[in-house]
Amino acid sequence: MTALGQPIDYLIVVAYFVGILGFGAYFGRFTKSTRDFFFGGQRFSWWLIAASLVATGIGSYSFIKYAQAGYLRGMSSTMTYLNDWFIIPLFMFGWLPIIYFARIKSVPEYFQRRFDEKTRIVATIFTLLYLVGYIGLNFYLLGTALKALLGIPISVSVPVVALISAIYVTLGGQTAVIFTDLIQGLFLYLAGAILLFLGLSYVGGFGEWWSNLDLAHRLPLPGFNRPPDFNFSAIFWGEGIAGTIAFTFINQGFIMRYLAAKSVTEGRKCLTFNTLILMPISAIVVGNVGWIAASMLAKGMTVTLADGSAVRLSQIDPKEVFVLVANVIARPGIFGFVIAALTAALMSTIDTLINACAAISIFDVYRPYIKKDASDKHYLKASRVASVLATALGLLLVPVFAGPESIFAAHYAFVSMVTPPMAVAILLGVTWKRFTPKAAFWSMIIGGVLILLSVFFPVLIKPFAWTHNISPEGGYKYFRAVYGVVVVGALAVIISRFTKPKPESELVGLTFETIQKAKELFKGGKPNEEPGQKLVRPMRIQKGSEKEIYLTQNDMNLLEAREGDLLYIADGRRWLGGLRSLHVKAGKPHDQDELVLVPEPVAKEGNLLRHRKVRIEKIM
């Protein structure tokens, strides 16, 4: 089968695969426990987490998906990237501090601590369906691109990528995921900028491009309720509920990334920067090829297929817009770089989801029900096996997403079914102490059944879609999320009124009202939140078994720290982003000027180097 591109393009793609495999595997040396494997030791700076989330977020939506949407719908394809604002405050000041300070390892674990064990089991099933399904979707998207480039079937190209992803995730865990996603994020931003520049040049410049777009393609938002498969009402509700809430509150991979931050404050900085700066940039990066293609269509330009024939854009499958248009506007070598970036975008989401599936498998299935009270070393080995199994399950789901409907429709048809029950349970669990365990359990079970019934009987969704005058064409795929939230929410409130809530003493640290108490439990004492300075000091590693470090009284005063406070010590090189660092308590002050005394076990755990200065700051 003839393929697009030139030999140099293939060489670049192969070099990328080899490089990212070696780069990711390198970080296996920093993974010594399950805490490292899943949460990176909770040590990283906000900018590193934010940069790695660029690749994770873009991979979730993909160049292919938004090129298709941009080609068919124009500038309004950016709407889904800018639809996060209304839920962000609740995550920043509610969900994030709760899961961080309560030391919650997985979303289902919250369900057990907030409700009961049987609700945790239901949450585990829903979460695994969501995550494994997302792995399958992203494998399919990647296979679509590589089929056009390499000319080989998805059944061959996808397993190769799956193998590479599984290897470096299995070896390096969350640390490998974060640092490979950092590199992959830089790759895809650079590729997006190159394509935008080359694309505008190809169609005759910015003015020519803009003049060739019709009015509908220039508008920043789609029509209120038309067309049925992409309109404002459907995208707002479908993306806002099934997309944003699911990705922010349920996606274990997303949550684990924020739990890898060195503090809640760093997590909030990351989320703010990501929402206000990186998401708008990402919307342009992933959508611009589709916008260029729309202008090319208006000018009657052609693209070259793998067999060398030239056809008009109106004759191709919109799913292939990205690869075919990129091949036309990019020169040899540049095209290979673009495909490598596309691969990076999708692999970065896949590796996050694989790591997340492994976490759920270990914390919510293997440890509580199969192998209790084993050593952490045993669970670390089991985590690596779980990563391989999650990859295999994702591969089996690829055919599910290979149907004739649009990628947008396939995405929301899947996500809208599995996320509303858990989304409602989390939101009510965090904000309403009266929400009972029985209400959580039965609203998820009954609500899940009613959502499934709506697939076979779309008329159930009609009352909700009718309020926006949405037509029944397509089975109300986008409004299934609204239907699910209303049904599950109503069940939750009604059942709560007739059942007994948990005692407030058992809800400490698990609701918005008890976050301050959660801080005390996290530290093991009353938090000291007086602002202090951040210091850079020489370090001396000494013998000892203590899990604390020792500073001078003057440095303690500068930090506004007291003995027993939680500190963060890191290699003085900020560009490492916290790779060599850890949290540790402040010990009794010493009298050796401007020197930090660090016991050997602490230095080893934090991967600190003897000849390097360290940065110290107070966490609480």
Q: What is the pLDDT of residues 458-510, one digit of tens each?
A: 788 877 766 655 555 554 666 777 888 889 999 999 999 999 999 988 998 89
Contact 436, 442 (CB under 8 A): no
Report the 3 state secondary structure along 117-176.
Answer: HHHHHHHHHHHHHHHHHHHHHHHHHHHHHHHHHHCCCHHHHHHHHHHHHHHHHHHHHHHH
Q: Which pLDDT tens digit goes with each residue over 570-619?
A: 888 888 888 888 888 988 988 877 788 888 988 888 888 888 898 998 98
Q: Which of 179, 214, 418 is nearest to 299 (CA)?
A: 214
d(CA 233, CA 268): 29
180's tokens: 């490979």
Place of tokens 């992203």: 138
Q: Say yes or no to pLDDT of 60 above 50.
A: no
Q: Which amino acid is at 583?
A: H
With contact defined as beta carbons under 8 Å apart, do 154 and 140 qualify? yes
* Token pair recorded at residue 414: 């899947």
Kindly tell me if the per-residue pLDDT of 286 is higher than 80: yes
The single-letter code of the amino acid at 85 is: W
Helical spans, DSSP H, in 467-590: 480-497, 515-523, 553-559
Tell me the HSE value of 169 on the side-chain side, using a 13 A CA sphere: 32
Structure tokens at 131: 């995550």
E strand segments, 17-124: none
CATH number given to 535-618: 2.40.40.20
What is the Cα–Cα distance from 418 to 508, expressed in whole angstroms? Answer: 29
- CA-to-CA dists, residue 33 to 102, 106, 169, angstroms: 20, 16, 14
Distances (CA, A) of 526 to 267, 562, 565: 22, 11, 9
CB 593 within 8 A of CB 573: no
* Residue whose C-alpha is closest to residue 461's, from 495, 489, 497, 487: 487
| Reported pTM | 0.83
Q: Classify domain 7-403 at the CATH class level.
A: mainly alpha
pLDDT of residue 1: 43
| Position 150 confidence tier, pLDDT thresholds 50, 70, 90 | low
- Per-domain boundaries in the chain: 7-403, 535-618
Per-residue three-class SS string for 225-242: CCCCCCCHHHHHHHHHHH
Q: How far apart are CA 71 and CA 295, in angstroms?
A: 9
Higher pLDDT, 81 or 405: 81
Average pLDDT over residues 53-68: 72
Residue-wise pLDDT for 245-269, tens only, equals 777 888 888 888 888 888 889 999 9
Strand, coil or helix: 86:
coil
Q: What is the mean pLDDT of residues 144-154?
A: 67
What distance in Å separates the CA atoms of residue 33 and residue 17, rounded to the nearest whole number?
27
Closest CA to 464 of 476, 474, 455: 476
pLDDT score recorded for residue 405: 52
Residue 8 has pLDDT above 90, yes or no: no
